[in-house]
C-alpha cells in the first residue's frame, strides 16, 4: 500500500500500528468495548490511539483532578483514570442512567471505581451544581458530549478551572463542516459558537488539530486557561497635578496599569516609570532616592505629603464600582462647592490618588 496517496484504509492501518506499538489493548479495555457493543451503544468512543494520547497528556501535566463531560461506556475514563497519581480523582458526567451503569461496571472491572465518580444527569445541570457548591478546580477537562451544548460546557469548564488548566474538546472538525456557516446542523453550529467564544475569551489560549484514523476525519481543540485579567478601568479624560513618588516602581507600574488602566510608556532605569494617557497627559512616578524633580511642589490639598495625582473622569460612579471590585479602599469622598465630586484612594507608595468629576476649578 503506497503512502503517497493516503486513504481511509491507510489511516486505519496506521492507527492499528500505533495501537500495537504504543497502546496495546488489555482485558479492561477489551471488556469496556465489548460491553458497549453488547448494549448497542453508538461507536463514538475515542480510538485506542486517542485514549493513549489523553493518558500521556494527562501524565505530562501532572493532573490530579480530571473532569470528563460525556462518559458513554467509560472507555476514555479508563484511559484518563489510569493516568492519575495516587489520591487523584476523575469526575465523569453522563446523561443516560443505563450508560452510566455500564460505565460503572467497566470501571469496576478495571479496578478504578475508587478513583472515579460517575454523575448522572444533564451535564449543564451537573456542572452548575458543582460550581454552586464550590467544587475544587480541575487540572484537565475533557469534553466529549453533544456538540450543540459545547458553548455551555466550555463556559462552565472555565468556571471549574484554575490558571493552567487544560480543556480538550473532541470531535470539533465535524468532517470539515466546522468551516461552513448556517449548516442547520446543531452540532456544527454548537462547535462554531464555541470557537467564536474562545476567539474572544480573555482567559483562553487555544489550538485546533485535525486528525485522521480509525474514527475517520475529525479533530480536537486544546485550550489553556490563563489567569483572570483585572476588569477594564473606566475612561479617564485627563491627568493633571502629577506629583508622585515611590521606590517600588514595579508596584507603581502594576497599580497604574491594572487599576487605573494606563499602560507603561517607558521605564527610566531605576529612576522612574512613565505612563501616557494621550499626547498631553503623561504620568511619571519618580524614585526620590534616585531622581528628585526640581520643579515639583506638593499641592496643599494632598493628604500625606508624599505626592498627589488627580484624574478628570466623566463617570465617578463607574470608578467607585471599579475600585470596589478590585478591593481598593476609598479613603474619602468630597462634594466640591463648585459642583464637582472627588473620591480618593492610595497607590502602593501612599501617594494620594484623586478621581474627580465635574468642574471643580479651571481644568
Q: Are residues 346 and 210 in the same domain?
A: no
More confident residue, 255 or 114: 114
- For helices 97-109 and 27-38, give the axis angle rounded to 10 degrees: 160
Q: Are residues 157 and 112 in the same domain?
A: yes
The DSSP secondary-structure symbol of 173 reads S
Residues near 26 by Cβ (< 8 Å), separated by ≥ 6?
none
Q: Tell me the C-alpha distance between 283 and 38, whole Å.
A: 72
State which residues form the domain around 128.
Answer: 8-225
Last residue of a domain, one of 176, 198, 225: 225
Instruction: Write out the H or E segment, with its range, that includes residue 152.
Output: helix 150-159
Q: Are residues 145 and 106 in the same domain?
A: yes
Phi, psi (rounded to 5 degrees) for 263: -75, 145
CATH code for the domain in which residue 33 is found: 3.40.50.150
pLDDT of residue 351: 83
Q: Are residues 351 and 204 in the same domain?
A: no
- Sequential DSSP letters for 87-101: T-EEEEEES-HHHHH
- Asked if residue 362 belongs to a domain, the reply is no
Instruction: Write out the H or E segment, with its range, that includes residue 264.
Output: strand 264-268
Q: Are residues 242 and 318 in the same domain?
A: yes
- Asked if residue 254 belongs to a domain, the reply is yes
Q: Are residues 18 and 71 in the same domain?
A: yes
Q: Cell numbers for 31, please give them.
A: 471488556
Judge contact between 259 and 323, C-beta under 8 A.
Answer: yes
- Asked if residue 2 belongs to a domain, the reply is no
- Sequential DSSP letters for 132-149: HTTPPPEEEEEE-S-GGG
Measured distance between the N- and C-terminal CA atoms of the chain, rounded to whole angstroms: 81
Q: For 283-322, write each residue's pLDDT tens digit.
A: 666 555 544 443 343 333 333 346 788 888 999 999 999 9
More confident residue, 269 or 223: 223
The chain-wide mean pLDDT, for the chain, equals 87
For the chain, how many structural domains are there in total?
A: 2
CATH code for the domain in which residue 336 is found: 3.10.180.10
- Asked if residue 171 belongs to a domain, the reply is yes
Q: Tell me the C-alpha distance between 319 and 322, whole Å.
A: 5
Q: Tell me the C-alpha distance between 354 and 352, whole Å.
A: 6
pLDDT of residue 31: 98
Last residue of a domain, one of 177, 203, 225: 225
Judge contact between 203 and 225, C-beta under 8 A.
Answer: yes
| Percent of all residues in the chain with a pLDDT value above 70, rounded to a whole number | 83
Q: Are residues 152 and 264 in the same domain?
A: no
pLDDT of residue 303: 37
Q: Are residues 202 and 260 in the same domain?
A: no
- For the chain, give the number of residues: 363
- Asked if residue 232 belongs to a domain, the reply is no
Q: Are residues 253 and 170 in the same domain?
A: no
Q: Tell me the C-alpha distance between 219 and 275, whole Å.
A: 45
3-state secondary structure (DSSP) of residue 295: coil
CA distances to 58, 109, 291, 305 from 27, in Å: 22, 9, 74, 76
| Percent of all residues in the chain with a pLDDT value above 90, rounded to a whole number | 64
Last residue of a domain, one of 192, 225, 258: 225
Q: For 121-160, write each residue's pLDDT tens digit.
A: 999 999 999 999 999 999 999 999 999 999 999 999 999 9
Q: Tell me the C-alpha distance between 356 and 216, whole Å.
A: 63
Q: For 240-276, write each residue's pLDDT tens digit.
A: 767 677 666 677 777 888 888 877 665 565 555 666 6
- Asked if residue 297 belongs to a domain, the reply is yes
Q: Are residues 56 and 191 in the same domain?
A: yes
pLDDT of residue 291: 47
Q: Are residues 51 and 180 in the same domain?
A: yes
Q: Tell me the C-alpha distance between 344 and 333, whole Å.
A: 6
More confident residue, 174 or 273: 174
3-state secondary structure (DSSP) of residue 246: coil
pLDDT of residue 310: 86
pLDDT of residue 33: 97
- Asked if residue 233 belongs to a domain, the reply is no
- Asked if residue 3 belongs to a domain, the reply is no
CA distances to 53, 62, 72, 127, 231 from 352, in Å: 55, 46, 60, 45, 22
Q: For 23-72, write each residue's pLDDT tens digit.
A: 999 999 999 999 999 999 999 999 999 999 999 999 999 999 999 999 99
Q: Are residues 123 and 220 in the same domain?
A: yes
Instruction: Write out the H or E segment, with its range, that includes residue 31.
Output: helix 27-38
Nearest to 90 by CA among 99, 82, 81: 81
Judge contact between 312 and 240, C-beta under 8 A.
Answer: yes
Amino acid at each position: 500500500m503506497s503512502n503517497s496517496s493516503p486513504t481511509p484504509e491507510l489511516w486505519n492501518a496506521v492507527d492499528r500500528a500505533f495501537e500495537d506499538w504504543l497502546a496495546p489493548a488489555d482485558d479492561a479495555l477489551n471488556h469496556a468495548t465489548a460491553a458497549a457493543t453488547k448494549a448497542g451503544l453508538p461507536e463514538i468512543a475515542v480510538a485506542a490511539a486517542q485514549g493513549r494520547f489523553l493518558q500521556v497528556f494527562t501524565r505530562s501535566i501532572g493532573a490530579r483532578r480530571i473532569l470528563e463531560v460525556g462518559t458513554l461506556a467509560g472507555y476514555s475514563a479508563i484511559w484518563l483514570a489510569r493516568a492519575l497519581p495516587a489520591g487523584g480523582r476523575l469526575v465523569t458526567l453522563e446523561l443516560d442512567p443505563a450508560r452510566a451503569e455500564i460505565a460503572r461496571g467497566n470501571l469496576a472491572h478495571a479496578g478504578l471505581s475508587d478513583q472515579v465518580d460517575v454523575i448522572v444527569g444533564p451535564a449543564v445541570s451537573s456542572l452548575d451544581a458543582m460550581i454552586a457548591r464550590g467544587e475544587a478546580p480541575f487540572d484537565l477537562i475533557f469534553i466529549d458530549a453533544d456538540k450543540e451544548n459545547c458553548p455551555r460546557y466550555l463556559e462552565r469548564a472555565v468556571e471549574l478551572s484554575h490558571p493552567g488548566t487544560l480543556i480538550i474538546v473532541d470531535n470539533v472538525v465535524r468532517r470539515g463542516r466546522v468551516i461552513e456557516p448556517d449548516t442547520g446542523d446543531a452540532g456544527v453550529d454548537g462547535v462554531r459558537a464555541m470557537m467564536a467564544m474562545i476567539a474572544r475569551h480573555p482567559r483562553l489560549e487555544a489550538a485546533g488539530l485535525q486528525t485522521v484514523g480509525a474514527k475517520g476525519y475529525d479533530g480536537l481543540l486544546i485550550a489553556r486557561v490563563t489567569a483572570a485579567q483585572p476588569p477594564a478601568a473606566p475612561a479617564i479624560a485627563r491627568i493633571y497635578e502629577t506629583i508622585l513618588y515611590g521606590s517600588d516602581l514595579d508596584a507603581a507600574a502594576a497599580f497604574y496599569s491594572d487599576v487605573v488602566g494606563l499602560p507603561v510608556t517607558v521605564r527610566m532605569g531605576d529612576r522612574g516609570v512613565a505612563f501616557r494617557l494621550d499626547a498631553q497627559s503623561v504620568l511619571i512616578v519618580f524614585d526620590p532616592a534616585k531622581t528628585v524633580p526640581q520643579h515639583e511642589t506638593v499641592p496643599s490639598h494632598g493628604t500625606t505629603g508624599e505626592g498627589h495625582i488627580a484624574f478628570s473622569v466623566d463617570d465617578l460612579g463607574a470608578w467607585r464600582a471599579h475600585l470596589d471590585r478590585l478591593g481598593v479602599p476609598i479613603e474619602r469622598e468630597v462634594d466640591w462647592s463648585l459642583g464637582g465630586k472627588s473620591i480618593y484612594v492610595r497607590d502602593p507608595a501612599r501617594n494620594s490618588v484623586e478621581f474627580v468629576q465635574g468642574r471643580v476649578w479651571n481644568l
